Amino acid sequence: MYQLVDLKLLSDIRGDLLSLEQLKNVPFDIKRVYCLTKLHADYPRGFHAHRQLQQLVVCLSGRCRFVLDDGHQKQEVWLESASQGLLLGSHVWREMHNFSEDCVLMVLASDFYDESDYIRDYQEFLAITDMK
């Protein structure tokens, strides 16, 4: 349903440097990068799946909890380090909860933004995963 990818931080006394390269430590061509900032614990996000999109989510600062669902089972993952990326493929319902005040998420995506790739209705998601 998901994979946690180890990402090497180049750390020294000056801080940490994280380098992400397509088809090296990111297993797809990167067409888009977006960031989620100024997040709030009271306002969970996500609540959708994607038909095709692959994404790698990196928590650059703070922490948050992902609830992932493949239509058959749910799993929970905390992201709290830039040294681990959460790899999400298609047909995984995702919810993001419990953002810390300093949480910053960076997401690398395999395609451009396309609203028609989203499944935002949970019943539709269940019907699609049931047919798979």
Site residues (vs ligand T46, CB under 6 A): 32, 34, 36, 45-46, 55, 57, 94, 107, 113
Closest approach of Cβ 115 to ligand T46, in Å? 7
Q: Distance of alpha carbon 85 from its chain centroid, rounded?
A: 8
Which lies closer to ligand T46 via its Cβ, residue 9 or residue 34? 34
Q: Where in the sequence numbering do the catalytic residues fall?
A: 48
Among the listed residues 121, 88, 80, the one whose alpha carbon sits nearest the alpha carbon of residue 107:
88
Cβ–Cβ < 8 Å for 87, 5: yes
Which lies closer to ligand T46 via its Cβ, residue 46 or residue 62? 46
Among the listed residues 8, 1, 22, the one whose alpha carbon sits nearest the alpha carbon of residue 110:
22
Closest approach of Cβ 92 to ligand T46, in Å? 9
Rounded Cα distance, 103 and 124, in Å: 31
Which lies closer to ligand T46 via its Cβ, residue 91 or residue 94? 94
